[in-house]
Amino acid sequence: KDVDLSNPDVVRYVVNRFGLRMNKKLGQNFLIRHAVVDDIAAAAELKPGDPVLEIGPGIGTLTQALAETGAAVTAVELDDHLLPVLDKTLEHYDNVRVVHGDIMRIDIAETMNHKPFKVCANLPYYITTPIIMKLLEQKLPIEKIVVMVQKEVAERMVAAPGSKIYGALSVSVQYYTEPRMLFEISPKCFMPAPEVTSAVVSMDVRQTPPVQVQDEKRFFQVVKTAFSQRRKTFSNTLKSAGLSKEQIAGILEASRIDGSRRGETMSLQEFADVADAWSHMAA
């Protein structure tokens, strides 16, 4: 095996050798704990030849652990300062392909050759939610997503109705996937140490949604509306979606929802019932 890119001395050496400045704006916190890196890679359950997408390889630490499984790794990195670094640190792996680009702008399906794949990444925290939403909403042929995120975001992803942190992210993640919180990671495991605790979430992408809904767009419109003004009652939030009093009353009656509730108490099924009642009325 090559040099261990999760070894703190190696990371320090690479950073000095290439004169890198950790770019805070790009969320550059590099992992320096071998066991943690191995655990994240193991959570992806990769077999030799499996296509896997890594977002933000940094100096190649997690990339190395993914490559060691024999998987076919595609790593998308935005920072061009890191390209010569990755060229060097991963030079002995012929199963790694580094792509220079912004994950929010590239065509992911095209990059992954329109074949089923998994995602495994230590995400840049400034765009965690947009990245997760892009992966989910584009209906890409993804089997599993393993991501390290801020602990607070991980908790929102797996939150159940009725908890304070349950929101639009919880509903989306749970609509498209079965998420599980795997483990927490202390700031000490990174260089430089971030201010927050991190956590790893594994999401098995669902073949079929957990609730049936006639019009998915409307379902997500209802969800977005319900959480856009968290202090308002559900009934009042529907007003901001452009519905009249009578229409709202009709929808609430048909879906048997008490309009005085808050969005954060509503299950996926209840959001689906409201969306379907709205669709019926609009038809």
Which residue ranges are tagged as binding site?
A: 29, 31, 56, 77, 102, 122
65 or 222: whose CB is closer to ligand SAM?
65
Q: Which of 14, 20, 29, 257 binds ligand SAM (CB under 6 A)?
A: 29
**Pairing of β 117-122 and β 96-100:** unpaired
89 sits near ligand SAM (criterion: CB under 6 A): no
Q: Which of 14, 20, 27, 142 binds ligand SAM (CB under 6 A)?
A: 27
Question: In this structure, are residues 149 and 128 in contact, taking their beta carbons and an 8 Å threshold?
Answer: yes
Spell out the residues 6+ positions from residue 168 whose beta carbon is closer than 8 angstroms to its own: 223, 224, 227
124 sits near ligand SAM (criterion: CB under 6 A): yes
122 sits near ligand SAM (criterion: CB under 6 A): yes
Q: Cα angle at 231 between 227 and 235, to 5 degrees? A: 70
59 or 226: whose CB is closer to ligand SAM?
59
Distance CA 34, CA 19 (A): 23
Residue 178, helix vs strand vs coil: strand
Span from 121-129, 166-174, 181-189, 214-222 in contact with ligand SAM (CB under 6 A): 121-129
CB of 265 to ligand SAM, least distance (A): 34
55 or 203: whose CB is closer to ligand SAM?
55
DSSP-derived secondary structure letter, 265: G
76 sits near ligand SAM (criterion: CB under 6 A): yes
Spell out the residues 6+ positions from residue 14 whose beta carbon is closer than 8 angstroms to its own: 5, 20, 59, 85, 89
Closest C-alpha among 20, 203, 35, 200 to residue 122: 200
28 sits near ligand SAM (criterion: CB under 6 A): yes
CB of 55 to ligand SAM, least distance (A): 6
Select the residue whose beta carbon is closest to ligand SAM and give its number.
56
CB of 117 to ligand SAM, least distance (A): 16
Span from 43-51, 54-62, 109-117, 238-246 in contact with ligand SAM (CB under 6 A): 54-62
Read out DSSP for 62-130?
HHHHHHHTT-EEEEEE--GGGHHHHHHHTTT-TTEEEEES-TTTS-HHHHTTTS-EEEEEE--GGGHHH
Burial of 60 (0-12, 13-18, 19+ CB in 10 A): buried
43 sits near ligand SAM (criterion: CB under 6 A): no
Distance CA 76, CA 58 (A): 10
179 sits near ligand SAM (criterion: CB under 6 A): no
- Binding-site size, ligand SAM (CB under 6 A): 23
76 or 169: whose CB is closer to ligand SAM?
76
Q: Provide the β-strand partners of residue 240.
A: none
CB of 202 to ligand SAM, least distance (A): 16
Q: Which of 36, 55, 71, 251 binds ligand SAM (CB under 6 A)?
A: 55
Spell out the residues 6+ positions from residue 13 whose beta carbon is closer than 8 angstroms to its own: none
Q: Which residues contribute to the site for ligand SAM (CB under 6 A)? A: 26-31, 55-58, 61-62, 76-79, 82, 102-104, 122, 124, 127
